[in-house]
Structure 1
Amino acid sequence: MSYSAAESVFRDVKELILSGELAGGELISEGAIAQRTQLSRTPVREAFLRLEAEGWMRLYPKKGALIVPIAQGEAEHVVGARQLVETHSVRVVSEQPYARKLLVNELRLNLEEQRAIVDRGDVAAFSAVDADFHKMIVAAAANPLLDAFYAGLRDRQRRMTARSIARDPDQLPRILADHVELANLVDAADAAGYDAAVLTHMRQVHGLGLGASR
C-alpha cells in the first residue's frame, strides 16, 4: 500500500459524496470502490477510515460503509455561518477599493465559467464553481482564521448545493442570476445589501423558506 493510493481513493470518494453521486443513506463496499478505482482493498480501507473520521461515512464491519446523510438542521446552521462570514468579508473589501476591484474581476471570470456550466447542465461542476464563487469573497478579506473556518463550510455547502440542484435542476439559471446580483453588490460596496441578498439566495437554494433569519 502507498499513501498516495489511499489519498487518491480518499479524494475520489469524497468527491463522489460532495457531488451527490454517492447519496446520504447509501451503503457502499470496499470491494466496489476497489474495483472502481482498480486498486487493492488496503488503500480503500485506509481512505474509508479517514472519511469516517471526517464524518462523511459510518463503517459497519462485514456490511460496508454508510454515507452519512445531511443532518437535520445542518442547512440552517451552515447558511447562518456563511452569512456572517461572507457579509463581514464584503464589509472589509468595501473599505479597500483596490482589493474590491480585484475581487470583482475574479467574480466576473467565475460567472463566465458558471454560465458555460449552466448551458451544459453539469450539476457536479456547478456545485464546485458555486462554492468557489463564495470562497473568493471570503478570501478577499485576507483573514486566515476566517479562511480556515470557511474551508470547513465549503464541503458542506457543495454537498447541500448538489442535492438541491439535483432535486430542482431548473433553478440553475436563477442561482446564476443571484450570483450576478451578489457580484454587483460587492462592486457597489453595498455590504448591507449583500447581507440581505445572500441570505435570501441561500435560503431559496436550500429550500429553507424566507421567513426565518439568523
Structure 2
Amino acid sequence: MMQYRLIKTAAGHAEIQSRSRPLSRSVRNLLLVINDSQPASYWLEKVQGVTDADLQHLLDEGLLGKATAGSAPAPSPAPSPSSSPAQGQATAPRPASSASPAPATPPAPPAPQALDPEVASLMDVVRATSYSVLYDTLNSQGKAELGLVGGFRFVLEVERCNGLSELIPLAQRFLVQVREERGLSALRRFELALNLAAKPA
C-alpha cells in the first residue's frame, strides 16, 4: 500500500517558507520531511498524527507530487562504521548478556563555563535573532548538517518548539553538536545562513 514515492512541488517548498495555508502541525511536519527516499507509507508511519487523507490533501493542494519513474531516490546517509542504523537495531535484538550500544540520545545542554568560545560567540547572535529567522535557519541547517535520519528528527524538534525561549536552547545544542562533529566550518555555514535569512527580501 502506498509504495509510490513523493516529492515536494515548487508550491510545497513555497508553503514551507510562507506557512500561508491552514495546515495542522502534524500535516506540516509531513510536508517538511517527506521526500522520495522512501515510499509514502514509510512517512505516514514515521510522522505521528497523519492519515492517508492528509497525504491525499497535500497531493490535491499541489504541495506534493509523485516522483517520476526515472528519478533517483534522495541519497541516504552513509552508515556509521561503529554502529548500525536504528532500524537495524530494532529488527535484530541481542541477548541481554551481550553488550549492545547505548541508544543515541541528544546531548544535554553544556554548562555555560564549558561552552566552546566560537559557539558562545555565535549564540550571542542567535539570541538577538527573530523567531522566524532562527526557525528557518535551524530547519535548513539541520537537514544539511545532520543527514536524512538525524535531520528528520531535528526538524520535528524544531517544529515542537513554542517561541524563542525553546528555540534558543535547541540552537545551542545543535551548534555544540555540529562543532564537535563537523568542525568550525559548520558554525560558519550556520552563521552565513542566519545572516542570509535575516536580510529583507
Q: Give the TM-score, by structure 2 length.
A: 0.31
- Greater relative CO (CA pairs within 8 A, separation 6+): 1
Which structure features the higher share of helix residues? Answer: 1
